[in-house]
Chain A
Amino acid sequence: MVNKVYNNRAWLLVLPMLALVAFSAIIPLMTVVNYSVQDVFDANTRFFTGIEWFERTLNDAGLQAALLRQFAFSFTVLAIQVPLGIGIALLMPKRGWQASAVLILITLPLLIPWNVVGSIWQIFTRGDIGLMGVGLRELGYGYNITRNPVDAWATIVLMDVWHWTPLIALLCYSGLRSIPEAYYQAARIDRASKWAVFRYIQLPKLTNVLVIGVLLRFMHSFMIYAEPFVLTGGGPGSSTTFLSQSLATMAIGQQDLGPSAAFSLIYFLIILLVCWVFYTAIMNMQKDKAERGGV
C-alpha cells in the first residue's frame, strides 16, 4: 500500500468529479425528499402532508411482502453466484486463444441491455416457442411461468444466475491472474493440498475483487427491474414483484409522487445500511489483518 501524503490540495483533483456527481445525485435527492412530505399535483398545486406517506408506506402489506421477496431473491442469487463464479474462474484456461475465447463467451451476458435479457429469456422459456419451455414440457414437466409461481421464481433466479455470474467470474479470474507464479511453486514444494492453495493463496487475493463483486451484485440484485418486468411482469399474481417494480408502478403508472418518494427514501436507506455494514466489516477485517502483519 502506498503511504499517502496529507495534502488538502487533492480536493482540486476531486472537484470536477464532485460537481458532476453532485449535479446528478444531490439535486434529485433533495427533490425526492421534498416530494416525500407533500401531495404534489404540479409545482403550484401541492399540499404539505408531513409524515403521512412514510406512515402509509411502512404499513403497506404489499410493500412489506415485496421487501421480503426482495431480500429472499438477493440472498438466493448471491448464494448461488458467488461460489459458482469463483468456481468458474478457477476452471477458466489461463492462456492462449482458449482463454480469450472463453473470456469473450462468458462476458456476453453482461453486455446485453437488461430489457433484452428479459426478452431473451421470454423467448427461451415460452411454452410454445421456447427451447427451455418446450424442452421441459417434452420431458413431462408442466412448466408454466405465467401460472406457477414456483416456476416463475426459479426462472428469474436462473436468469439472474445466467446474467450475472459472469461478473463474479470475470473479477475473480482477473484477481487470480494477478497472483505471481512463484506462490504456486512454493505451494507445490510444500505439497499443499488444492484446498490449502485455495484457502491461503487464492482466496486472500480474491478478497478485494469479491468485495467489489458482492457489493455490486447486492446493489444490482436489490434494484432489479427490467428483467423480471419483461419476463413475468411481476406475476403470477405478485409473486415476482420486487421493490423497483412496485416503485416504478407507483411513480410512473399511478403518478403518486409523494408516496413513491417516501418509498424511495426508505428503499435507499435499507440499501445504504446493508452496504455500509458490509463495507465497514470488510474494511475492518483487512485493517486488523494488516495490523497483525498478515497479507
Chain B
Amino acid sequence: MAWMVWTLPTAVFFSTIAAILAGMTAWEVISPTVERKGFLPIATTRGDRLFIGLLSAAYIHLIVVGFTDITIWFALALSVVWLLILMRWG
C-alpha cells in the first residue's frame, strides 16, 4: 500500500465518500426513494441528486481554487450547503 502514498486529507475524503455511499444504501433499504421533480429541470431520485451535488461540488472547488484567492474552506462550506439544498429541494 505504500506506493499509493496516502495522506490524511485524501484518506478523510475517500472515507467520507464511502460513508455517504453506505449511508445512501442503508437509507434506500429502509425507505426506497421516489423519483420526483424539484427545481432541477429533470425528475431525479436521491442518488441522482447526490451525484449532481458531488459533481457540482467538484466544480465549485476548482473554480474557487483556480480563479479566486478565497480559501478552500469557503468552497467546502458552499458545497455542503449546496448539496443539502439539492438533496432537499432539487
Asked whether, in the complex, the Cβ of A273 is within 8 Å of the Cβ of B59, the reply is yes
Asked whether, in the complex, the Cβ of B62 is within 8 Å of the Cβ of A34, the reply is no
* 0/1 interface trace, chain B 27-66, chain A, CB 8 Å (1 if under): 0000000000000001000000001000100110010011
- A26: shortest Cβ distance to chain B, in Å? 9
- B8: shortest Cβ distance to chain A, in Å? 9
Asked whether, in the complex, the Cβ of B65 is within 8 Å of the Cβ of A55, the reply is yes
Chain A residues 35-86 with CB under 8 Å of chain B are 35, 37-38, 40, 43-44, 46, 48, 50-51, 54-55, 57-59
A48 CB contacts on chain B under 8 angstroms: 7, 9
Asked whether, in the complex, the Cβ of B7 is within 8 Å of the Cβ of A54, the reply is no
Instruction: Give the contacting residue for A276; candidates B55, B67, B72; CB below 8 A.
Output: B55
Asked whether, in the complex, the Cβ of B72 is within 8 Å of the Cβ of A31, the reply is no
Identify the closest chain B residue to A272 (Cβ): B55
Asked whether, in the complex, the Cβ of B72 is within 8 Å of the Cβ of A37, the reply is no
CA distance A44 to B2 in the complex (A): 8
Asked whether, in the complex, the Cβ of B14 is within 8 Å of the Cβ of A30, the reply is yes
Interface size on B, residues (CB 8 A): 20
- B55: shortest Cβ distance to chain A, in Å? 7
Q: List 21 A-B contacts (CB under 8 A).
A: A27-B4, A30-B4, A30-B14, A31-B4, A31-B5, A33-B10, A33-B13, A33-B14, A37-B7, A50-B9, A54-B62, A54-B66, A57-B66, A58-B65, A58-B66, A59-B66, A269-B55, A269-B59, A269-B62, A276-B55, A280-B42
Identify the closest chain A residue to B66 (Cβ): A58
Interchain pairs with CB closer than 8 A, number? 57
Is A266 interfacial (CB-CB < 8 Å)?
A: yes
- B48: shortest Cβ distance to chain A, in Å? 8
Asked whether, in the complex, the Cβ of B4 is within 8 Å of the Cβ of A34, the reply is yes
Identify the closest chain B residue to A53 (Cβ): B65
CA distance A51 to B62 in the complex (A): 10
- A243: shortest Cβ distance to chain B, in Å? 16
- B75: shortest Cβ distance to chain A, in Å? 10
Asked, given contacts A37-B10, A43-B2, A280-B42, whether A269 binds B58 with beta carbons under 8 Å apart, the answer is yes
B4 CB contacts on chain A under 8 angstroms: 27, 30-31, 34
Asked whether, in the complex, the Cβ of B66 is within 8 Å of the Cβ of A37, the reply is no
* 10 smallest beta-carbon distances between A and B, as pairs: A58-B66, A43-B2, A31-B4, A34-B5, A51-B65, A34-B10, A54-B65, A33-B10, A284-B42, A43-B3
Asked whether, in the complex, the Cβ of A38 is within 8 Å of the Cβ of B65, the reply is no
A38 CB contacts on chain B under 8 angstroms: 5, 7
CA distance A44 to B3 in the complex (A): 9
- A257: shortest Cβ distance to chain B, in Å? 9
B66 CB contacts on chain A under 8 angstroms: 54-55, 57-59
- B5: shortest Cβ distance to chain A, in Å? 5
Identify the closest chain B residue to A29 (Cβ): B14
B72 CB contacts on chain A under 8 angstroms: 50-51
Chain B residues 61-85 with CB under 8 Å of chain A are 62, 65-67, 72
B10 CB contacts on chain A under 8 angstroms: 30, 33-34, 37
CA distance A54 to B10 in the complex (A): 15
B9 CB contacts on chain A under 8 angstroms: 37, 48, 50
- B2: shortest Cβ distance to chain A, in Å? 5
Asked whether, in the complex, the Cβ of A34 is within 8 Å of the Cβ of B7, the reply is yes
